[in-house]
Amino acid sequence: MILILSQCTLESSSEEVIDWISHLGGNYRRINGNDLKESDYYFLINNNDSKFSIANNLLNIDNVNVIWYRRWNDDVDRLLPTKKNLSLINTINTHRKGEHRHLSTFFFSILKNKKWINTPDDERITKNEMLLKAKLVGLEIPNTILTTSKKDAMSFKNKFNKIIIKSISNTTLYMVQKKFFGNYTCLVSDDDVVNFPSNFYPTLFQEYLEKEYELRIFYCFGKLYSMAIFSQNDKQTEIDFRQYNYDKPNRNVPYKLPKLISQKIVKLMNYFGCKTGSIDMVKTKDGRYVFLEINPVGQFGMTSKPCHYYIEKVLAIQLIKTDKNERKN
């Protein structure tokens, strides 16, 4: 059986792969991170037996042959504090989040001897580690500084003139009045730097790259599915293509990477042990291919659909194949 670990929101990719698994006759079970707290759940441990059930459905671990770690949401609903109980409620919220994280860790631990297609640890690969390893395999990277110092930020700005600021981890989406917002990459102005405090929270700055276009590449079991995003034709998307202009969408087309660049990307993904993942790069106006980052659990529908790659089907076939191979073993 294929066990799919996912999340219940902002995750249409899982459903589309599942549709293909069903169509192709595969056997699967899906569990979302939220199920551990929102569904009927128990794990019985005693001297005679151990049983695991979720959503009133017994999961026989012995029947699981392969696990596809797509995404996992281990957030908990936060209690809202008042001025009088702020400290207490914050402490309780921290404890509840820790409890749920430990529950997830335990759940993963009982599956540790299974065949995994990506793991929870893959999500924890940092952007700075990605840049260091990309450099080692021969990919060009943007000049980068991670600092808490206004002095360092100002020196970096003076050296490169145009710089950007981006999150250290993955982009976080916020919902306010049923609308989603995110922390996107943006330019840093001279006034921004002047107004920085002497010391601030660790922040990632990079040189601004004059882009011809952006590249979104999905790596899937050794093969690359690449797409060019013509984000520079629109002021709204020229810094970060994720600032989508739904009235005037960017043009997205299939793209063939140079062979040497492809080989280096595959080498990088093999280094991290990722079976799948989304890679962001840019082609600069002076013809350079510059690596930005990997998202091991990145979306692939945005590449699959415009380019007619049918990555969802490719993944389903690979999961079914792995399930059958592990069953034989």
Cα 162 to Cα 206: distance, rounded to the nearest angstrom: 9
Residue pointed to by tokens 């595959």: 266
DSSP 61: G
Identify which has the larger pLDDT, 45 or 273. 273
Give the pLDDT band of residue 293 (cuts 50, 70, 90): very high
Asked whether 276 and 221 are in contact (CB, 8 A), the reply is yes
Residue 45: is its pLDDT beyond 80? no
Beginning with the edge strand found earlier in the chain, give each strand of the sheet holding 199-207 in spatial order. 144-149, 199-207, 163-166, 186-188
Residue pointed to by tokens 């790259």: 209
Identify which has the larger pLDDT, 90 or 322. 322
Q: Which helix (H) or strand (E) holds 58?
A: strand 57-58
Residue 185: is its pLDDT beyond 90? no
Name the token pair of 220.
């899937």
CATH topology of domain 126-140+210-295: D-amino Acid Aminotransferase; Chain A, domain 1 (3.30.470)
Q: What is the pLDDT of residue 232?
A: 82
Q: For the structural domain made of 2-123+316-328, what CATH number should be given? A: 3.40.50
Residue 89: is its pLDDT beyond 90? no
Cα 162 to Cα 207: distance, rounded to the nearest angstrom: 6
Cα 123 to Cα 112: distance, rounded to the nearest angstrom: 16
What type of residue sits at position 200? F
Which distant-in-sequence residues (6+ apart) come within 8 Å of 106 by Cβ? 43
The neighbour count for residue 196, using CB atoms within 10 Å, is 16
The alpha carbon dihedral of 10, 106, 65, 37 has a sign of negative
Domain ranges of the chain: 2-123+316-328, 126-140+210-295, 143-208
Q: What is the pLDDT of residue 172?
A: 67
Q: Under DSSP, is residue 301 helix (H, G, I), strand (E, B) or coil?
A: helix
**Share of residues in the chain with pLDDT > 70 (%):** 91
Asked whether 211 and 282 are in contact (CB, 8 A), the reply is yes
Residue 101: is its pLDDT beyond 90? no
Residue 323: is its pLDDT beyond 80? yes
What type of residue sits at position 105? T
Which distant-in-sequence residues (6+ apart) come within 8 Å of 280 by Cβ? 214, 215, 216, 217, 292, 293, 294, 295
Cα 24 to Cα 17: distance, rounded to the nearest angstrom: 11
Cα 322 to Cα 44: distance, rounded to the nearest angstrom: 30
Identify which has the larger pLDDT, 158 or 240. 158
Q: What is the pLDDT of residue 179?
A: 67
Q: What is the pLDDT of residue 171?
A: 67
Give the pLDDT band of residue 135 (cuts 50, 70, 90): very high
Q: Under DSSP, is residue 236 helix (H, G, I), strand (E, B) or coil?
A: coil
What type of residue sits at position 320? I
Q: What are phi and psi of 18, to 5 degrees?
A: -60, -40
Whole-model pTM above 0.85?
A: yes
Burial class (CB in 10 A: 0-12, 13-18, 19+), 113: exposed
pLDDT tens-digit readout, 199-217: 999 999 999 999 999 999 9
Asked whether 171 and 184 are in contact (CB, 8 A), the reply is yes
